[in-house]
Structure formats: C-alpha cells, structure tokens
Chains A and B, each alone.
Chain A
Amino acid sequence: MQVTFKIWRQEGPKDKGAIRAYEVDGLTEDMSFLEALDHLNELLVLKDEKVIAFEYDCREGICGQCGVFINGRAHGPHDNMTTCQLHMRSFKDGDTIVVEPWRAASFPVIKDLIVDRSAFDRIIEQGAFISAKTGTAPEANAIPIPKEVSDRAMDAAACIGCGACVATCKNSSAALFTSAKINHLNGLPQGHAEEHKRVAEMTYQMEIEGFGSCTFTGACEVECPEGISIINIAEMNARVTKSKVLG
C-alpha cells in the first residue's frame, strides 16, 4: 500500500512551520497509523534526514499521549477513537493523508506534531483531588455508593486527557475535559466536602489558561475516545452557578 503523507514540520516553538509531502510505499493495511509514521521515520533516517517528532506511549488507547489532526479531524476519520487505534485499513491505496498537530493557543507546538498540554495538568492542580492524606481512610464499604452514582462518576472519570476535545472545538474550549473531572469527583460522596471550591478554582484556571468558552456545538463528544458526553458540560455549568450561590 502506498500513500502520500502531508505532514506539518516545525523545528521549534518560535519557528514558522510548513506542510511537507512524503510519498511512502511498502505499507500494509494491518499497520497502525503510528506504525506507518514509524516506517516513514526509518526511511527518513536512512536518507539522513531528521525524523518527524510525534507523540505516543501506550499505543492501546489509554495513556492519552498520542493525538494528531488527520485529514482535518482529531484522531482521524473515525468517531471516538485515539490516533494509536487507527489502522491503515481505514485508508485507500494512493490516498493523501494530511497530518497536523493539535491547533489551540493553549497547546503551543513544541516541535512538528508535538504540542504542550501542560495546561491540563495545571487545571488538575487546582482542585481535581480529594484532600485526604494517605493513611486516613475509613473502611471502604463504610460509605455505600449506589451503582448508578458510581457508574455516572466512572463515565466522567474515563477521560484520558488527550486534548482532542480542545483541538476539535472551534473555540478551543476545555469544557469537556474540565467538566468530566469535576463531575467525577463532585458526583461521589468523598468529593462533596470540597465541591464548590473545586468547581470555582478549576473553571477559573481553565479561563486563565486561555481556553475558549463552550458554545455547545457537540464537536468534542464526537472525537472523545472515551465517548464522554457534553451533558457533563451542562452539569458543570449548573455546578458553577450553585457554587456561586452556596460556595
């Protein structure tokens, strides 16, 4: 199988990048998309060129480190899937595949396809935890949590922090990411003590990181590899109002 990759190359944060084309042959349908890029990189090394910098780690859809724009869509042509789970059988022989980094002001490009998502860590830092020290826990079954409550928390907690929601949003909003974490913790009895403070501080951090506002287009939930619903955003907004009244 042969394709033409058109890939964003950018030496560093301050450089002006550009799309470069690479014709790649010798691919198979069973290869993952990232393995096709590995293959291209091996060819580049042998041609004495610098490799394309792109991110990955687990390559099984759970670490959240991979993520590029492929033909104008976050994580490629399918809904709810990470880049590492995409296989070349989703493309045809002779296809041209355009590959770009996440585009968002809050995710500056570091090099080629690699962006800096540390803004997410800083949102987490502002309250995505339960302030209890190791060694202070009561017996696990002491607080019963109904299955529906636990399942709902799990649905929200499934976020892998890949940033596709931000990348695909026309406003570069981090509302889906932030709301998922807030609803996970605020939905559980253990998270109640700090619920209002958590909502206020995390949403504030989201704003100062420069993420845009949510206008409910729903684009994020289409790309979210964990299928996290935008209902979470509505719930977060309700919690913000509540925290202003009660917090």
Chain B
Amino acid sequence: MKLDAKIPEGKLQDKWQNYQVKSQLINPANKKKLNVIVVGSGLSGAGAASTLAELGYDIKCFCYQDSARRAHSVAAQGGINAAKNYQHDGDSVWRMFYDTLKGGDFRSREANTYRLAELSAPLIDHYVQQGVPFAREYGGTLVNRSFGGVQVQRTFYARGQTGQQLLMAAYSQLYKMVRAKKVEMFPRSEMLDLVVIDGKAKGIIVRDLVTGALKRYAADAVVLATGGYSRVFRLSTLAIGCNGSALWKAHKKGAFFGAPSFTQIHPTALPQSSEAQSKLTLMSESLRNDGRIWVPKQKDDPRKANDIPEEERDYYLERRYPSFGNLAPRDIASRAAKERIDAGFGVGRLKNAVYLDFKHAIERFGLETIKDRYGNLFKMYKKITGIDAYKEPMQISPAAHFSMGGLWVDYELMTTVPGLYAIGECNFSDHGANRLGANSLLQASVDGYFILPNTINNYLANEIKADHPTIEHPAFDKAEQEVKSNIERVLAINGTKTVDHFHRELGKVMWQECAMSRNKAGLEKAIQQIKEIRNAFWSAVKVTGDSNELNTELEKALRLADFIELGILMCTDALERDESCGAHFREEYQTEEGEAVRVDEAYSYVSAWEYDSGDFKLHKEALEFEFVKPSVRSYK
C-alpha cells in the first residue's frame, strides 16, 4: 500500500483554500441522514462533535469519564499559540509555521504545519466569542507571553488554567448541541473495538462502565479523539485514565501507526518521590518565562538552595543555549536536565531534580506581578510539596508528557481505514519529532473545530447513497464476541499479581530505554523484556470482581494489555530510526557536545506501521520539503 498524504496543489499559502474549493459538499437535508461517532470529549472531540452537529450531522459522543468536562485537555496550564502579531514583534503565519516545523526537527509535513499556523488566529477569535476569559491588558486588549522554542510573544492564556477554560468553552458548546438534540452524549463509556465493514469504519463496540454491558453503535464515519498514550510509561503527566486502547484497537483493524516512539518528555514536572507514585504533576512551561533553571556547580552540594551563592550556581541552559536560555524547547531542556542529573548534580532528596528559581524575577518585577502571572501554579506547588516557592526555588524533573506519534493521518485527518479519522493528540500530524509548548491546545482545537468539519464531507458525500450500517451486521457480532472473550480471558487468569504491578514493570522498561535517550542494545533488550512482561501478565495477573458491574480493576487491566503491545511497537520504531531528531535521541547519533545528529539522507520520512498478526510492517511516507530547507536545529 502506498501512503498518499493527499496534499493539495499550489503554494503553501493557498493549499487549504485550494483544498476547500475542491472538496465535495453535502446539502443540509442530506447531512441529517448521516451519523458520526466521536470518541473522546476533549478539545478536539468536543470541538468536532459540536461543530459537526451545528452543520447538521447526527452525533454520538463517548467518553470514559463521568462527564465530558473531565477530558485531559483540562490540565494544560500555560496557553495556546496564535499568529496574531498583537505584540507587534514580527510574528506572522509564516514565522509560526517555521518555528513549529523547526521545533519538530523537520519531521512533519509542511502543508499540515502551515495550516496549523494559518488557522491559529481565527481560533482565538472563536474562543473569545465562546466566552473564554483570556488575560487582558487594562485597556481591554488581549495579552500574550512567550513560550519555549520561540522568540516572539504569541501565547494566549487564561491564568494558569488555559486548558480548563478552553475545554469549558468546548464542553458548553457540546451541551448546547445536546440540548438541541443533535448530540447524544455517552459518559462512562469506553470504546473497546472498532467495527470495519467492507474495509470502511462503520461503528464501535463500547463497554458501559457502570453496568459492564457491551453495546454496539453504528455510524457512517468514526472519529477518534482519544488523546495521548504516555501512560505507557505509567508515570507521566497524563490523567490516570488516559489510555491508548482505542488507537490500538483501530491499529489492529488496519489503521497505520505513525511515529509511535516520538514522545515528549516535559522538563518541568515535579520529581518522583516514591515507588507508589501514580502521577507526575506538571508545572507549566510558562514558568520558564521568568524562572531560571540551575543546579549547584559542586556535586552533592549539601547546602540549601538559598545558601548557595550566585557564583556557585550553574545556569546550564543559559550556559549551553545563550540565545534561547531558559526558553529552549522541551526536548532540549529535558535532555540537558537529564545530563546534569546523571552527572551527579541533581538536587532534592532523591537527587533527581533541578531548581527552577524565581528569585531574580521577584526582585525585578515585584512579588505582586509574579503572583498575578503564576499565582495558582505556586499555590498548586505548595499544596503538593508543602514548599513556598516564592521563598525557595521549585524542584522540577523531566516527565513523560505528550505523544507526537499517533495514528497516521493524511491531510484530511483520515487514517488508512476509510471513514476512520483521528484528531488531536491521538494522530501523528503537525508536531514532527517534538511539539512546541502551547501548540497542543491549538492542534486539538483546529483539528476539531476547523479542519475535520471541512474534510469529513469529502468522504461522507459518497456515503449518502451507500447502505447505512446497522448493528445487526455480522461484523458487529464478531467484534463484540472478540471483546467479550478478551474480557473473560483476563478475568479467568486469577493469578497472583496486580495490574499495577505489571504497569510499574512496563513503565520502568519504557522509561529506561525508550524515553529521553535511546540506544540499539537497550531497545533490543527492552523489546524482549516487554514480551516477557506480556507473557507474565497473561499468566499471572489477578483481577477481582466481574465483567457485569462497575469494575475499575478490569478497566485498568484491559488498558494495560494494550499498552504492553503498544510499548513493543514504540521500541520497534525507536530502534528502526538510526538518527537523533527532536525528542528521539539515539545515543549513537550525537555530536561531541551531546547535540542531536539528524540523518536527513536516510530518515526524512514518517514511519507508518502496519499491524501484521502480532508483528509490525514498516511503510514510509517521504517528507518533501518544497518551501523550506531543513537546517541543523540550533538554539545556541
């Protein structure tokens, strides 16, 4: 199968326009006859569901949480980028496009990335109209701040709750359409399989998480908006329920998986404090605007942070990357922290952290200004650690965060299964090998609100006359039976170890071998180890309770079974890519100074993996750079 990204003709600036001009339309009377399933209710899912409903389609939207408002978009703190150039500092769509492409180390498509930047400005208009209380100047205009990897101020924010505020807007709009009876909302419902009929996505199998009942839903198209899968590392910044199961089921039903190993390790999370820890809390990257990162120059320095004089502090980001300093992109900042920690300069009780210090910012801008900018983050830090960060520096550490990888999609956001779309974090599209801060809310939103509602019609136009699927089709019988036997199989093992035990084992291997730094021998070993974990899981896991009731342990077990298989694919992908790019740092490919060495001649492609009965087959989508020349990514 040859991968066709379906990039429209024309100049970069004209491609999206050219696409829309040629895309097929559906008249309003016919839209009513079409049903679309949306799995996930975060920014991309809620945005798509409400907008498609406004256009006239009938929508069913599913989420595993108790309410659509819980989706993990809620947790993004820092902001959302848009090329508005309100700060008059030389920003433009082109510059934002270039920053994003370069930030991703030239491993994403030009056309997609440009469209992301192009649609960013109207998105801010949209959210303001929906009532998002973005930060304002006294005169009433919108405020911006800087974010990593960028030298202009293009980030919009709502205190430290930007994700929460955007999600509230999306959730409100979703419920507006629930009220209009155009969206049917199914909370506490988890998709456990995709139903494919004659090669096209036509429905899903869902487990009602309250009663345990398996249910069938048919539709003319299925949209996955299920977010990232970094819980494969167990310890991550993600919500505990975030999982890769919907993606994995779709992958097993024919959807190719794009760049699965591209995972962003966020530099500013709170360090792990114990084995029992379930989650690493993120502190917004926006803190790096005013906070300065350092470690002591002396190894194992026993002194308290405030007792270490200036000349004995190593502001290593400012030292290594003078032009970007503390605002170096995430992958670079994380690796630099790891380098210092591994070299023995880490701080904190477990020596696994670095300092993020606001002393200079408070001296310069005053306590009140810093409180206004980051007050709730400091409050959160105090709640979790008991430490007042206005008085002593925060301790931060890298943590698994965003999945740049995801289901491979073309320019229309359609996967390799016709009628199956992937939007938001769960696809691989715009961020390449590393995502810039504040581009995540942006991508989820534009995918859901602006792009999908303008591309799905191009497919659905041909489905109006086709047979509308029904849940009596044998494909539904087969899929439901498979789900049922999988659940029975898990419950029947009745072994001696908990689900969390195996998740911790998986997490350790993934964090050790497939996170910030990777090498051939380690990845080969990791694949073997994960296979052993898989065997052990299927012979020794113990899940109590039944399938026909609310059973959180069973939910975890089913998700973990998929994470284990996904972990093997991630390591396989990381092993295949003999180069360093963005967040993918292969130790064999680095300069003497420890900077990444990209190998464009051999690896300027997106890896797209096909599931092949337990094995994975690689397909390549060559990346052609028609408008910019990939350069060595330098933030020095």
Contacts and interface: CB of A to CB of B under 8 A. Distances in A.
Nearest to A130: B131
A150 B124 contact: no
Given A51-B544, A63-B74, A134-B54, A150 B384 contact: no
Nearest to A123: B175
Nearest to B161: A158
A157 interface: yes
Contact of A59 (B54, B168, B240, B553): B240
Nearest to B275: A28
A41 B239 contact: no
Interface in A111-132: 111, 114, 116-118, 120-121, 124-126, 128-132
Given A30-B273, A58-B72, A62-B161, A45 B66 contact: no
Contacts of B122: 137
A131 B176 CA distance: 8
B541 to A, nearest CB: 10
Given A30-B273, A38-B500, A146-B140, A121 B279 contact: no
B133 A132 contact: no
Contact of A61 (B159, B278, B380): B380
Contact of B70 (A44, A60, A64, A135): A64
A222 to B, nearest CB: 15
Interface in A154-170: 154, 157-158, 160-161
Instruction: Name which of A35, A78, A145 has the most chain B CB atoms within 10 A of its CB.
Output: A145
Contact of B179 (A81, A126, A141, A147): A126
Given A61-B383, A118-B187, A110 B210 contact: yes
Contact of A140 (B51, B54, B124): B124
B544 A49 contact: yes
B544 A63 contact: no
B550 A110 contact: yes
**Chain A interface secondary structure, helix, strand, loop or mixed?**
loop
A35 B176 CA distance: 37
A191 B178 CA distance: 19
B125 A65 contact: no
A56 interface: yes
Nearest to B132: A157
A129 B384 contact: no
A141 B552 contact: no
A81 B66 contact: no
A119 B305 CA distance: 49
B128 interface: yes
A73 interface: no
Contact of A65 (B51, B65, B278): B65
A16 interface: no
Contact of B277 (A35, A49, A131, A136): A35
Given A44-B544, A48-B544, A121-B175, A62 B67 contact: no
Interface residues of A, number: 79
Nearest to A47: B544
Interface in B379-401: 380, 383-384, 386
A147 B136 CA distance: 5
B128 A190 contact: yes
B86 interface: yes
Interface of A: 12, 28, 30-32, 34-35, 38-39, 41-42, 44-46, 48-51, 53-65, 78, 81, 85, 87, 89, 110-111, 114, 116-118, 120-121, 124-126, 128-141, 143-147, 150-151, 153-154, 157-158, 160-161, 184-185, 188, 190-191
Given A124-B171, A124-B172, 13 more contacts: A42-B498, A45-B543, A46-B498, A50-B544, A59-B279, A65-B66, A65-B70, A87-B384, A125-B179, A129-B131, A135-B126, A154-B158, A188-B133
24 contacts: A50-B544, A51-B551, A57-B70, A58-B240, A59-B278, A60-B75, A63-B70, A63-B239, A65-B66, A85-B380, A85-B383, A117-B67, A118-B187, A124-B175, A129-B175, A131-B176, A134-B51, A134-B173, A134-B450, A140-B84, A141-B86, A145-B136, A150-B135, A151-B136
Interface of B: 47, 50-51, 54, 65-70, 72, 74-75, 84, 86, 122, 124-126, 128-131, 133-142, 158-159, 161, 163-165, 168, 171-173, 175-176, 178-179, 185, 187, 210, 239-241, 273-274, 276-279, 281-282, 380, 383-384, 386, 449-450, 453, 496, 498-501, 542-545, 549-553
